[in-house]
Amino acid sequence: MTILNSSVEVVTDPGEIALLCALDARHQRNSEWLQSHWADFIPSARGKFVAVAEEVGFIAKTADEAWAWVTTAHPNDDGAIVRHIREQEGPRIYGHRG
């Protein structure tokens, strides 16, 4: 492994690359599961957090509560995700106000 600076490194070890690819696959699987199950969470999750681990979802009031559920209920899933769900429906509109 070669460290380029304090925030970027080049990983060349095949074993470490394989571990990172497996981690990415677990993360992707949870993300895809959430995408296909949005209807199970909306609208009750608005303004809250949705955690997904091992393709199981959980609604929490805070991010800390969501991560605590992941740690307790699915400690072996290092590809778990937590997403905040906005309270407002519809698109976000950004514009210059000045």
Interval 48-62: pLDDT, tens: 999 999 999 999 999
pLDDT at 18: 94
CB burial of residue 18 (10 Å; 0-12, 13-18, 19+) = exposed
The number of domains in the chain is 1
Q: In sequence order, what are the beta bridge partners of 10? A: 2
* 74 inside domain: yes
Residue 16 identity: E
Reported pTM: 0.77
In a domain? residue 29: yes
Residue range of the domain that includes 64: 10-84
